[in-house]
Structure 1
Amino acid sequence: MRTTVRGIELEYEVFGTGRPLLLIMGLGMQMVAWDEEFIDLLVAAGHQVVRFDNRDIGLSTHLDGPADLMAAMAGDPSAVRYTLEDMAVDTAGLMDTLGWESAHVAGVSMGGMIAQTLAIAAPERVRSLTSIMSTPGLALAPATEAAMGALMSAPARNREEAIERAFEVFRVIGSPGYPSEPDRIARVAGLSYDRCYDPAGSARQLIAIVAAPDRTERLRELSVPTLVMHGDDDPLITPPGGVATADAVPGAKLLTFPGMGHDLPRPLWPEFVAAITELTGRAG
């Protein structure tokens, strides 16, 4: 399905019935990275789940213009094609299409940043906030050198290279305490390549992250029921990012998972679903 928000087309899918739960994916990742088996668990727990492609990824609108990360890091505003605030507006517009005055919102990594931004800008739209492996600001959770190297590696030139690059990235940022799932990594990477492969779009998303101000003080103003989940072996958004998020939002609950990196290990899905379901049930 597709909707248009201020000229941006967003591709989305709806699963089940129940409490409205909107899932926001991270940097360079398409909505298919939200595994349907994980979504099925959320649906079985009483949620209507929506996943979607952020702008500049997948089947949603891709922007144009340069993606000059170095200029953005140097503070050049002309290098910023759009902001996390724009992406939060996209998310709210999708909720309008769905007829949701408010919803439970969960995001991973960049998706957590977008969810935080939405809760700050329009707290009346957010019934509960789940921030997963995210941070209020990049400086609070600096990536390891190896993780940054994996993130900034050269774009793939074909489908085979896209799958191989996914293996290499998750070898570095994945969860050392849990078995790797090469079949799942290959399936998601191949499907994502087939849907739309656009490295420049991912780079523009990264620039939006880099250009975003620290959200800590604004998060202190929230009264939204909040859950923060983070892996204690996350090398990309290191554990202080989760601690900083939980410390900033009044009453937030922090769950830290030993052995978890910057992914969502299948053995932890029941715990993730139970924690999210407890939050959404409590938030109403």
Structure 2
Amino acid sequence: MLDYLTGTGGRRLDYVRRGRGAPLLLIQGMGAHHAMWGEELLSLLEPEFDIVAYDHRGVGRGDRADEAFSTADLAEDAAAVIASVGWSDALVFGISLGGMVAQELVLRHPELVRALAIGCTWAGGPDGVMSETSRRMVEAFATRDPDHATKTSFEANFSRRFAAETPGLLETYQSRALSVKVPVPVIQMQWQAALAHDTGDRLGTVTRPTTVLHGTADAGIPVVNGHRLAGLIPGAQLELFDGAGHLFWWEDPARAAAALTQLERRAADRNDARGWTT
């Protein structure tokens, strides 16, 4: 069921909550929303996790976002969401822009992050690699033509193999993408926040169990960024989805769910070994 919770400064944000188990916060990417996680993944996660998937500021029925923001600002929203739900901490899974937000969250509020999963994302800065495909997608959104925008983002988000092998995928993608309103000005501010993101010289301080997930055929944020992230975060495990595109969890939801379950077990084992409680 869709409901509101409170972000930074009392801002209302849409969210859905389902499942039982360990707390799991899902943070979506640029131009996306909670429905883009898909039933295929969520149905696999809900036996193991208490899932909260929220929408970024300015998305859906939440309060408007009229001023520019950074990934650090969005991380404060994520921290407020965890507090609003009543959790002490959570396994945090962020993808694309959401992965950048998750990085800032663990750096600013490590006590809130039980374990960190970041997918199809980058650390930014001069060593980050952003593709022209992502730029073309933002330009397509700016036309305000829903059909053109969703077809362009569809081509950017999936591997050619998966698109060819999955009947009705374009229609399913368009239906989900357009089910929640994401204003073009918000997408443009998200894009600028992503371009300004830079955590490369700080990620070495992360101590939480971390898994980096990336499709090897990601046309939007190339896989070289996943390799770099795994090298920057001490002890991080790298899960490569061979031949998968940007939305790797659509292409292999079972493996994505298994990676999150395994990460939660790593976190639980680590906490038990140290005598922690959460």
TM-score of the two chains, using structure 2 as the length reference: 0.88
Secondary structure of the 1:205 match is helix
How many residues are treated as equivalent by the alignment? 261
Post-superposition offset of 1:170: 1.6
1:35 matched to 2:43? The reply is: no
1:243 matched to 2:246? The reply is: no
Q: What is the match of residue 123 of structure 2?
A: 136
The change in CA–CA distance for 1:204 and 1:231 in structure 2 (over 3 A counts) is same
Q: What is the match of residue 234 of structure 1?
A: 218
Post-superposition offset of 1:58: 1.9
- Matches of residues 62-77 of structure 1 in structure 2 within 5 Å? 62-65=64-67
* Cα deviation code 1:137-185 (max 9, x no counterpart): 154342333442233225354xxx4144212222134222323511321
Distance in 2, Cα, partners of 1:154 & 1:242: 26
Q: What is the match of residue 190 of structure 1?
A: 178
Post-superposition offset of 1:99: 0.9
Q: What is the match of residue 13 of structure 2?
A: 10
Q: What is the match of residue 109 of structure 2?
A: 122
Distance in 1, Cα, partners of 2:20 & 2:151: 35
**Greater displacement, 244-253 / 258-267:** 258-267
**Greater displacement, 183-192 / 253-262:** 183-192
Question: Which portions of structure 1, spanning 4 or more consecutive aligned residues, are displaced by more than 4 angstroms?
Answer: none
- Consecutive unaligned residues of structure 1, counting only runs of 5 or more, are 66-80
- For the Cα contact (< 8 Å) 1:141–1:239, is it kept in 2? no
Distance in 2, Cα, partners of 1:240 & 1:139: 14
Post-superposition offset of 1:15: 0.4
1:89 matched to 2:73? The reply is: no
* Cα deviation code 1:13-32 (max 9, x no counterpart): 11011000000000111111
Q: What is the match of residue 282 of structure 1?
A: 266
- Consecutive unaligned residues of structure 2, counting only runs of 5 or more, are 269-278
Distance in 2, Cα, partners of 1:102 & 1:150: 34
TM-score of the two chains, using structure 1 as the length reference: 0.86
- Matches of residues 218-229 of structure 1 in structure 2 within 5 Å? 218-229=202-213
Secondary structure of the 2:220 match is coil
Distance in 1, Cα, partners of 2:131 & 2:196: 20
Distance in 2, Cα, partners of 1:268 & 1:58: 27
Q: What is the match of residue 56 of structure 2?
A: 54
Secondary structure of the 1:191 match is coil
Distance in 2, Cα, partners of 1:23 & 1:39: 10
